[in-house]
């Protein structure tokens, strides 16, 4: 799925998905190659760089937003943006380091009205780095 950027408004330097590997009616698999020169490594942590957990979560959220946009056949320029409305059960289990390949999998659990309930998992080198449950909606951008 080369056109995944059509479904989300995110762009560099705040884009944490490089590629969509697979997408079905209720799940998506994506990847992010973590570069050794990512700017956040300079301060997190000098001499012992690890990717901040909130940015690992963001990679999952962006993957979920791509899935939501694809399922709704919503283009990023239609005026609606994906917003997170709930985050729960975040578990950080393994560090993500410079040069790692993050593999994200997001599964749609339920849709209630505009709310999408999803679960995400990130693996690095076959090890689970993070799991999270979250809900999100596509909303009309307001000033």
Q: How far is CA 57 from the centre of its chain?
A: 6
Q: Are 136 and 109 in contact (CB under 8 A)?
A: no
Range of the domain at 41: 4-140
CB atoms within 10 A of CB 86: 10
CA angle 98, 101, 132 (to 5 degrees): 100
**What's the CATH code of the domain at 130?**
3.10.129.10
Query: Would you please indicate which residues are annotated as catalytic (active-site) residues?
Result: 44
The count of domains in the chain is 1
The pTM (predicted TM-score) of the whole model is 0.94
Residues of the chain with pLDDT under 70: 1-2, 74-77, 142-143
């Amino acid at each position: 799925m080369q056109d995944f950027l059509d479904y989300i408004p995110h762009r560099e330097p705040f884009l944490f998905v490089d590629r969509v590997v697979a997408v079905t009616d209720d799940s998506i698999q994506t990847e992010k190659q973590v570069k050794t020169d990512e700017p956040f490594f300079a301060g997190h942590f000098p001499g012992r760089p690890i990717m901040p957990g909130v940015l690992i979560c963001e990679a999952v959220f962006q993957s979920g937003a791509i899935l939501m946009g694809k399922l709704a056949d919503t283009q990023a320029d239609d005026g609606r943006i994906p917003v997170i409305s709930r985050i729960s059960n975040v578990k950080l289990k393994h560090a993500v380091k410079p040069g790692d390949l993050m593999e994200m999998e997001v599964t749609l659990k339920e849709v209630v009205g505009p709310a999408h309930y999803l679960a995400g998992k990130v693996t690095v080198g076959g090890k689970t780095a993070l799991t999270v449950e979250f809900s999100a909606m596509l909303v009309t951008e307001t000033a």
